[in-house]
Amino acid sequence: MDLPYRPRRLRTSPIMRAHVRETHLHPSQLILPVFVREGAQEPRAISSMPGVVQHSMDSLKHAATEAVELGLGGFMIFGVPTTLDATGSGLVAEDGVLNQALCAVRAEVGDDILVMADLCLDEFTDHGHCGVLDDRGRVDNDATLALYAQAAVAQAEAGAHVLGPSGMMDGQVGVIRTALDEAGFIDTSVLAYSVKYASAFYGPFREAVDSSLTGDRKTYQMDPANRREAMRELELDLDEGADMVMVKPAMSYLDMVREVADHSPVPVSAYQISGEYSMIQAAAANGWIDRRAAIQESLLSIRRAGADTVLTYFATEAARWWREENGVA
């Protein structure tokens, strides 16, 4: 047949496919989210997230060292306290589990990996919301910002290189940036959760942090139906000084990853969240999919959509595979 174009020529062999491959996945592009439980003496399994644990302080430090050895780009820490209150005071407290963990991990790995802190009240409040409540039980945006500012300084003092404000409060990036600068932490970066949707796929995360939430977070997290609103959120966070921005979730919102990447002048992250992780694990456990291939494809799709970095619970495993495939000892 007289075919002037034969795209299949570029798919004829593994070496040809590798030669023309447009998107690559490297360990440095992966960020590992981890949980540390106050008072834990050993890791505690999370039933809805097979393979993920609530770390003890010792196992957390080991995980951080392993992340460095594998060449991961970041280590994002979430705290799981034993005592909760209405204002989430454990987030700010110097002896709070998250700040203690940041201090311990930074002492362990120094500047060999980005030590990142979740900056949100939801794990620390007895009502499970990302902010403090007013007398009518609604999240008080501006009162919450004052606590975020205090938490930002506390986390920077504890050693965090990067802060990840995830509460979706209006004005949070600007307040955090101002607090950091006034406290002398001008080099501490802000990874803004700029586009965070009120997703059904957060379910397993609630177990991971022992969430006490009743109800939902739809008054502050974004409606999954909205696209233009996401670009407005991005614009505001950039204006307020975000150093990097994030889309969360990732796999169900690849269109928004692409949209944000096309418009953002700063690096873009995407978070492959707990439900996305657990779906792959469950399908693989039932023999319905090839686990390794599905994990690698899912991460590659997030990168292809435009994410510069990916937060994923598969980070260490994906990094080991990369080293194996590339002959790195």
Active site residues: 196, 248
The neighbouring-strand residues paired with 36 are 55, 79
C-alpha dihedral, 10 to 11 to 17 to 23, nearest 10°: 80
Integer distance in angstroms from the first to the last C-alpha of the chain?
48
Give the three-class secondary structure for 37: strand
Helices (H) and strands (E) in the chain, counts: 11, 10
Find tokens 């500012």 and name the residue.
Answer: 149
Q: Which residues of 210-234 are buried (b: 16+ CB within 10 A; e: fewer)?
A: bbeeeeebeebbbeeeeeeebbebb
Cα separation, 231 vs 134, in Å, equals 29
Q: What is the Cα–Cα distance from 141 to 151, expressed in whole angstroms?
A: 15
Task: Give how far Cα 18 sits from Cα of 30, 206, 315, Å.
Answer: 21, 40, 22
Q: How far is CA 89 from CA 54, 130, 134, 140, in A?
A: 21, 12, 16, 16
**Burial group, residue 19, by CB count within 10 angstroms (0-12, 13-18, 19+):** exposed
Phi/psi at 77 (5° precision): -105, 135
In angstroms, rounded to a whole number, what is the distance separating the alpha carbons of residues 167 and 198?
11
Query: Six-digit token pair at 108?
Result: 């362990």
* The residue type at 270: A
Identify residue 126 by its one-letter amino acid code: D
Cβ contact 118:164 at 8 Å: yes
